[in-house]
Amino acid sequence: MTKEYLRKIVDDTTTKKGRIFDYIVEILIFVSLLGFALETLPNNSAQTKAILRGIEVVSVILFTIEYFLRIYVAKKPRHYIFSFYGIIDFLAIFPFYAGASSLLSLRAFRIFRIFRAFKLIRYNTALARFQQAWKIIKEEVILFLIVTGIFLFLASAGIYYFENPEQPEVFSSIFSSTWWAVVTLTTVGYGDVYPITAGGKIFTFFILMIGVGIVTVPAGLVSSALTKAREMEEEAEKDDAEEVKIDDYK
């Protein structure tokens, strides 16, 4: 088989063989992810564990073949290896060969391979709109993150001042108080760490009010930016349509 012939099978889904190859990869992804999820069930029998292990071995072998096949057919192998999909493909097989149990959770990254398997790039217009929205709100988001960081530090320092004398183990330092500041500013409020002094409770009230605003700001920024991006897209399409009419008239 020539490299060009293999490239049409691996990368070109418009051909029958390319679609079959794509379907096989999709099925393999789902089977491997299902096996990964089933491994986490408690009290799996020895037979079940053996079956799941077999599925993992077969999946890794096939993923490995596909990975090196994509490197072989790539016009610029280096670009593929360090691309988003190349890194995800590598992470799909690396934990198995590394043999480190602590890295096995990296197998969950196989879910990102669905982006290529389903060819979600077909939604390129929507992705471009998000990219345009990011350009519109980039400065505001950076400023928002800086201000949030400042509030996070002030909240950590404030609750430490109020609560450290009464709860020295829980609020032992500003750094240890940061967890409380995070869950309070984000209005999550797990309840695992909370103030018991009057001053701490009053301080918490004001931090919660600030947190409500902090949570809503990003949503508002993204919403307005996407609306602006869509308007810009519609204006660009209208201009293109007018240019086509002018050319036809000429």
Under 8 Å between Cβ of 9 and 21: yes
The pLDDT assigned to 248 comes to 57
Q: Are residues 174 and 75 in the same domain?
A: no
How many domains in the chain?
Answer: 2
Determine the structural domain holding residue 191 and report its residue range: 124-249
Q: Are residues 109 and 134 in the same domain?
A: no
The pLDDT assigned to 129 comes to 79
Under 8 Å between Cβ of 170 and 200: no
Q: Are residues 187 and 203 in the same domain?
A: yes
Q: Are residues 208 and 237 in the same domain?
A: yes
The pLDDT assigned to 186 comes to 85
Q: Are residues 135 and 56 in the same domain?
A: no
Where residue 223 falls (left for φ over 0; alpha for ψ -120 to 50; beta otherwise) is: alpha
Q: Are residues 137 and 233 in the same domain?
A: yes
The pLDDT assigned to 189 comes to 77
The pLDDT assigned to 222 comes to 82
The pLDDT assigned to 117 comes to 57
Chosen domain end from 63, 87, 118:
118
Under 8 Å between Cβ of 85 and 116: yes
Q: Are residues 105 and 195 in the same domain?
A: no
The pLDDT assigned to 104 comes to 62
Q: Are residues 89 and 187 in the same domain?
A: no
Chosen domain end from 118, 150, 177:
118
Q: Are residues 89 and 108 in the same domain?
A: yes
Report the distance separating Cα 195 and Cα 159, nearest Å. Answer: 8
Q: Are residues 238 and 132 in the same domain?
A: yes
Q: Are residues 107 and 157 in the same domain?
A: no
The pLDDT assigned to 16 comes to 84
Q: Are residues 71 and 178 in the same domain?
A: no
Measured on CA atoms in the order 156, 161, 163, 165, is the torsion positive or negative?
positive
CATH number, domain with residue 171:
1.10.287.70
Q: What is the pLDDT along the chain (250 residues), one digit of tens a residue?
A: 688 888 888 877 778 888 888 888 888 888 888 888 888 888 889 999 999 989 988 988 998 998 899 899 888 889 989 987 788 888 878 878 877 665 666 667 767 666 665 555 555 567 677 888 888 888 888 888 898 899 999 999 999 999 999 999 989 999 999 999 999 988 887 888 889 999 999 999 999 888 888 878 888 888 888 888 888 877 777 766 666 556 555 5
CATH number, domain with residue 60:
1.20.120.350
